[in-house]
Copies of this chain bind each other. A is one copy, B any other.
Amino acid sequence: MRLFRDKSSSAESHLAHVQEHFLYHLGISSATTDIPATFKDVKFVCIGGTASRMEELAQHLAGELGLLLNGRSDVMRCSPKTERYSLFKVGPVLCASHGIGVASASVLLHELFKLIHLAGCVDVTLLRIGTCGGVGVEEGTVIISDGAVNGQLRHVYTWNVLGKPIERPVVADLDLVSELQACAKVGDHFPTIVGTTLCTDDFYEGQARLDGALCSFTVQDKVTFLLRLRELGVRNIEMESAGVLALCHAVGIRAAVACVCLVDRLVSEEPKNKSDLLEEYQRRPQMLAVRFIKSRLAAL
């Protein structure tokens, strides 16, 4: 795997001169962890918002992958630090929590990319599985992103480097989108669709919610905005997709985003369902990820 597709990047040469690699927020050091021995077999990285959800996925994978992996499917806790992010490993799968927003997710991604690079992993696929608001989409629907736009509705995400903005293109891997979509089963009791995702840097104003502490627009402004999103092909709204897809594209890791809709924003601002139903919704993109990983492993 060529980690640094970005031709302008000099990261590889900087990293080559580092004696001890310390993944600060994960608490993993190359001085105390044999990173190649521990992580070289990684082929899949699943990321999602919360530690509890990612641990649940890791446990689920441990059960599902047992036979395929000849029993090597215990859940290994890999991050000595857990205040910021939690990292689990199940055979060839890493599961990590990224918190809320692109800034939080980008810190994790830098450290995961370094881990993958230092371990010498090849052909790694990253899946973000999460929750979202829908735009004219029924609650419980899983949306696979065929692209993502930033808060200004452009297919880029912007980072400030040395005080100046640099835009990175947000590119979805459409082969991977199709492969994931094929993992949705006819018998599923919920729909899985493909659509564009709006990635915002704020849950309230940025997502046109009327119930934030600050709100400078009317109900009509909100509805007009959401209908405009529909016309642009946007089917869901969350807070990490564009940043995740842009960073993965920049380093040459295939990535996709699949989120379950907790509330149709044309109907309501906040999820109204009971928490046990919301919990069940959150397992739906996990199911998709597990099927995808099993199908890939079975084909090896």
Which residues of A are at the interface with B, using a C-beta cutoff of 8 A?
A: 3-4, 6, 8-11, 14-15, 18, 21-22, 24-25, 49-53, 83-84, 99-104, 106-107, 109-111, 113-114, 117, 150-153, 159-166, 200-206, 208, 210-218, 221-222, 225, 228, 239, 247, 250-251, 270-271
A149 nearest in chain B by CB position: B163
Chain B minimum-CB-distance residue to A8: B216
Q: Which B residue's beta carbon lies closest to that of A29?
A: B270
How many protomers of this protein does the assembly include?
2
- In the bound complex, residues from chain B placing their C-beta under 8 Å from that of A228 are 163
Q: Bound state CA distance, A200 and B166, in angstroms?
A: 13
Which among B107, B161, B165, B204 is the interface contact of A216 at CB below 8 angstroms? B161
CB distance from A223 to the nearest CB of B (A): 11
Residues in B neighbouring A204, C-beta threshold 8 A: 106-107, 110
How near does chain B come to A27, taking the closest CB pair, in angstroms?
8
A-B contact pairs, 30 of them (CB 8 A): A9-B215, A11-B212, A11-B214, A15-B211, A25-B203, A49-B83, A50-B83, A52-B83, A99-B104, A101-B103, A101-B107, A103-B201, A103-B239, A104-B104, A107-B202, A107-B204, A110-B203, A110-B212, A110-B214, A114-B211, A152-B163, A152-B164, A152-B165, A153-B163, A160-B200, A160-B201, A161-B205, A161-B216, A166-B216, A214-B247
B104 touches A216 (CB 8 A): no
* Residues B160 and A103 in contact, CB atoms below 8 Å apart: no
Determine the main DSSP class of A at the interface with B.
loop
B residues within 8 A CB of A51?
Answer: 83
A50 proximity list for chain B (CB < 8 A): 83-84
Given contacts A101-B104, A159-B205, 18 further A-B contacts (CB under 8 A): A4-B214, A6-B216, A9-B215, A11-B212, A11-B214, A49-B83, A51-B83, A52-B83, A84-B100, A100-B107, A101-B103, A103-B201, A107-B203, A110-B203, A114-B211, A152-B160, A159-B206, A213-B251
Which residues of chain B come closer than 8 Å to A106, judged between CB atoms? Answer: 201-204
A50 and B56 CA atoms in complex are apart in Å by: 21
Q: 4 closest Cβ contacts across the A-B interface?
A: A101-B103, A151-B160, A113-B213, A11-B215
Asked whether A104 and B107 contact (CB < 8 A) given A117-B213, A163-B152, the answer is no
Contact across chains for A14 and B210 when beta carbons are under 8 A apart: yes
A29 → B minimal CB distance (Å): 10
| Contact between chains at B103 and A202 (CB < 8 Å) | yes
What is the bound-complex CA distance between A84 and B201, given in angstroms? 16
Q: Give Cα A4 to B225, complex, Å.
A: 23
Residue of B nearest to A216 (CB): B8
CA distance A215 to B7 in the complex (A): 10
